[in-house]
Amino acid sequence: MCGFAGLMAENVGALEVRVQSMLAPLFHRGPDDEGIWIDERMGLALGHRRLAILDLSAHGHQPMHSTSGRYVIVFNGEIYNFALLRKEIEAAGVNTEWRGHSDTEVLLAAFELWGVETTLARLVGMFAIVLWDKETHQLTLARDRLGEKPLYFGRIKGAFYFASELKAIRAQCAQDLQIDRDVLADYMRFGYIPAPRSIYKDIFKLHPGHLIQVSAAGVAGESRPFWSLVSDQTAELRSQLSQASDTEVLDLLDERLASAVGLQSFSDVPVGAFLSGGVDSSLVVSLMQAQSSSRVRTFTIGFEEEAFNEAPYAREVAQHLGTDHTEMYVKALDAAALIPMLPKIYDEPFADSSQIPTTLVSRLTREHVTVALTGDGGDELFAGYPRYPITANLWRKISKVPRPLRSAVASVLTHPSAADWDRLTGLLPARYQSSINGRRVNRLGQLIDSRSLGEMYIRLMSHWQPEENIVVGGKCTGFDSFPAQESDSIAAMRQWDVVQHLPDDLLVKVDRATMYSSLESRAPLLDHRIAEFAFALPERFLVREGVGKWALRRLLDRYVPSRLIDRPKTGFSIPLGEWLRGPLRDWAEDLLSPSRLVDDSYLDADKVGRMWHEHLSGKFDRSAHIWNVLMFQAWLRDIQSSECCGQTGENKEVFN
């Protein structure tokens, strides 16, 4: 697990100094070692920061050269099936004299034997790869199938830059980067920035499961996929599974998940796991403990606010499984102390408020282990979100209503503004006023007027709606990112989540939070073979009687009594609404100052002000909308401060 950065340019000079400045802000991703390789003739510099997980010796040092010398690589991630690939390479007689036992060395040997695309198709793991081919003078960038590891790239003033985090590129190009207002509008909408764009013009994120090749002149071609979540094989497997019994399917899932957990538990450093007490993390820990001769280390975060506290559930699961369990309770003051660091940790505007407990539990976990397994991906792959069946049923009913009638009703609901509706609903008895308000009435009208399931679902997943025009001079993208096939509504929503919500929100949150503490996270449920299996499952193995993750729940029954698990889903959330009205209020009001918003000129100060006052009144919870604004404002202030002070990277001591 590491971080990398580099550039390719003609006549730029001082390549080593430039790549060193890019690596400095990535110290937290790899505190164990640093390496730089330069080809002055080609104008290429590769830099790497290492967090040693496999082969702790110098033989794991990067940038690493292949045996023949043809390839040079910088690599972030883990190849879980590297031992099997190594045996296949040895059987082919290509390389029997290994320098060490790192997966990076095996990866290079595989590229030499099978070529780039064939090798990528054979990998099981999480990875971001930059590979230089000395023969063809071609640079290849590749990212793992589900998007666990980040990879930014872009061409600025004739030079091609790439890095694990945006801050590394900013260290070299800060004065030449411009905020993209359209991207900012999408950020306000979702609370994260969807790939392939970044907050800056001309800087991009490589899509998960894609590769892109760059010429010796530093010109990138079009990115192309090397994997697809849904394929002809998916339909084939679904046909087979549709004939299988419940027990047969659970046995297959048990076998595959146990294999994934076993592969991801292998390490040369201590391994533990996050445990929330929910289905996904409990299942991962159950499989870990079943394969371990010692007690697995587990970690959880709790809250004093009972409605948000899942720590007691995690404790009960840990006691049943016999893990070595550690928990930490988070207070608003803990959040307040962490908040100033969030812009540096998350690197571009990011507003999933569970970033706070995730960062804190990562810090706690790193005090004991270097690798932590997580339950990420279970809800998206196995239909765990209640919104899936609810939205599918709603669309099924609404789509039967003739379009003209729907549009007429929608017009009645959306034509009056939210403020107008609030004045009307103010005439209702007090007990109805919190549940029937102007924004909800407007949102209902928009949902009724949706032209497709995709539009309805994306609206449900949005905070600030496109029509609100919160960003001055910015425009949201449309609704065409949703999968075209809508015959299986739940599958289409899951697929959109796996392609966008999972990699651009949830996995960004986990990667940055864990890497900030130099902790490697691994997600067995995101083994691509598990993902393919999940999307081949007939719906009866996903949702029964309106409850999702049927297969995972019934598999977990084999390890943990259902009474410890069966409860309403709460998610890994914090009491943000209450904190913003209380201990975080002064910090928030400083960032939401109308004069500051006007001076910055990115956001509509009046709309932000109205939303903030609505939240402070206690009548409505607008914390999701406000947090999006606050995280952008905090990020903007941070980069403005860094640029004013001439700081392009973080001090290494911040991460020690």
Q: Binding site membership: which residues?
A: 103, 301
- Distance of alpha carbon 224 from the chain centroid: 21
Cis peptide before 386 (omega within 30 of 0): no
CB contact set of 351 (below 8 Å; sequence gap of 6+): 187, 191, 192, 627, 628, 630, 631, 632
Judge contact between 387 and 156, C-beta under 8 A. no
Rounded to whole angstroms, how far apart are CA atoms 580 and 592? 12
Which of 273, 262, 320, 332 lies closest to 299, judged by CA?
A: 273
Rounded to whole angstroms, how far apart are CA atoms 448 and 401? 9
Judge contact between 385 and 379, C-beta under 8 A. yes
Rounded to whole angstroms, how far apart are CA atoms 188 and 350? 9
Which of 231, 72, 76, 48 lies closest to 147, judged by CA?
A: 76
Rounded to whole angstroms, how far apart are CA atoms 133 and 491? 40
Strands 210-214, 297-303: pairing is: unpaired
Give me the helix-helix angle, 387-398 and 489-496, nearest 10°: 130
Tokens representing 128 are 């971001």
Residue labelled with tokens 């159950």: 286
Cis peptide before 196 (omega within 30 of 0): yes
Give me the helix-helix angle, 387-398 and 438-448, nearest 10°: 60
Extract the annotated binding site for L-glutamine: 103
Extract the annotated binding site for ATP: 301
Residue 141 DSSP SS3? strand
Active site amino acids: 2
Strands 64-65, 44-50: pairing is: unpaired
Rounded to whole angstroms, how far apart are CA atoms 233 and 536? 9
How buried is residue 645: exposed, middle or buried, by Cβ count under 10 Å (0-12/13-18/19+)?
exposed
State how far the alpha carbon of 84 is from the alpha carbons of 89, 103, 140, in Å. 9, 11, 24
Judge contact between 461 and 190, C-beta under 8 A. yes
Question: Phi/psi zone of residue 38: left (φ > 0), alpha (ψ -120 to 50 degrees), beta?
Answer: beta
Rounded to whole angstroms, how far apart are CA atoms 640 and 214? 32
Indicate the DSSP class of residue 497: I
Judge contact between 609 and 594, C-beta under 8 A. yes
Strands 125-133, 138-143: pairing is: antiparallel
* DSSP code string of 557-569: TTTS-GGGT-S--
Rounded to whole angstroms, how far apart are CA atoms 103 and 92? 18
